[in-house]
Amino acid sequence: MAAAGFFRIALGVEYKGSRYRGWQRQASGVPTVQETLEKALSKVADSPVSLMCAGRTDAGVHACGQVVHFDTQAERSMKAWVMGANINLPHDVSVSWAKVMPAHFHARFKAIARRYRYVIYNDQIRPAHLNEEITWNHRPLDAERMAEAAQHLVGIHDFSAFRAGQCQAKSPIKEVHHLRVTRHGKMIVLDIRAGAFLHHMVRNIAGVLMTIGTGERPVEWAKEVLESRVRRTGGVTAHPFGLYLVDVEYRDEFELPQRFIGPHFLTGFAELDG
């Protein structure tokens, strides 16, 4: 119970962010994932629902491992929360699981790690399929050079050079636990896990690594950009369409349901596991 007469419910959520202005609720008439999901859940609860999320994604960014929570007096089965929400949601937002949580659980503040994947389609011809769910780069990219450069960014660093100007984080110092770059046919996947991220951090990292992958800059440039601590050193911010929040981690005490690490079209690549 979250408080007297209330239940705290956690949900696993996935969404295609293409037509939304990000997660966070904004001015009336601006489509956001939060408002869309709150409306659907409010119908199930038969009362207003207000959500807290693990990570606020930007406009155009997707998620297949988002975690949210809300407090409600409505007594519903976990199946009813999942199925009821999905019946009332549009095709590009889906609830995958629900669980009653203890009062001290918080989707954002109890998260101990977050994981993103950035998916690049690397071919001269623009793809007709998944064109809002991947980033297309027509220049030949050397994934091995990108993977080598990525290792300069692993560990505890000041990521000011990869931080958006409007970032509200108190500190630019973050710890990247892993940053892997792998090629799968025409696709290149950047897989990054950290305790927390700065605004546009992953997209700015992707931009730097793609520049190195073309041969336009040397492998060591990633370290130079990092050490400069100046955003303009790193070049263009990569497009949001290729970015996915794929996992949020919590301590074992919460026993949240575990699903595959997405997005769905990558689940057949065994070498991405881990």
Residue 234 has what pLDDT? 85
The set of residues, in sequence order, having a beta carbon less than 8 Å from that of 171 and lying 6+ positions away, is none
CB 36 within 8 A of CB 47: no
User: What residues are labeled active site?
Assistant: 58
170 falls in which pLDDT band (50, 70, 90)? confident
CA 7/CA 45 separation, integer angstroms = 11
> With contact defined as beta carbons under 8 Å apart, do 160 and 172 qualify?
yes
Write out pLDDT tens, residues 93-132.
Answer: 999 999 999 999 999 999 999 999 999 999 999 999 998 9
Q: Which residues of 189-200 are buried (b: 16+ CB within 10 A; e: fewer)?
A: bbbbbbeebbbb
Say whether pLDDT at 254 is over 80.
yes
Are 243 and 230 spatial neighbours (Cβ–Cβ below 8 Å)?
A: no
Q: Beta strand 62-72 with 243-249: parallel, antiparallel or unpaired?
A: parallel
Per-residue model confidence as pLDDT tens digits over 25-52: 987 789 999 999 999 999 999 999 999 9
Which pLDDT score is estimated for 205?
97
Find out whether the peptide bond into 218 is cis, omega within 30 degrees of 0: no
- What pLDDT score does 2 carry? 54
Instruction: Note the pTM of the prediction, 2 decimals.
Output: 0.94
| Structural contact between residues 181 and 146, judged by C-beta atoms closer than 8 angstroms | yes
CB 225 within 8 A of CB 207: no
Binding site residues for substrate, as ranges?
116
Task: Report the pLDDT value the prediction gives residue 1, as an integer from 0 to 100.
Answer: 47
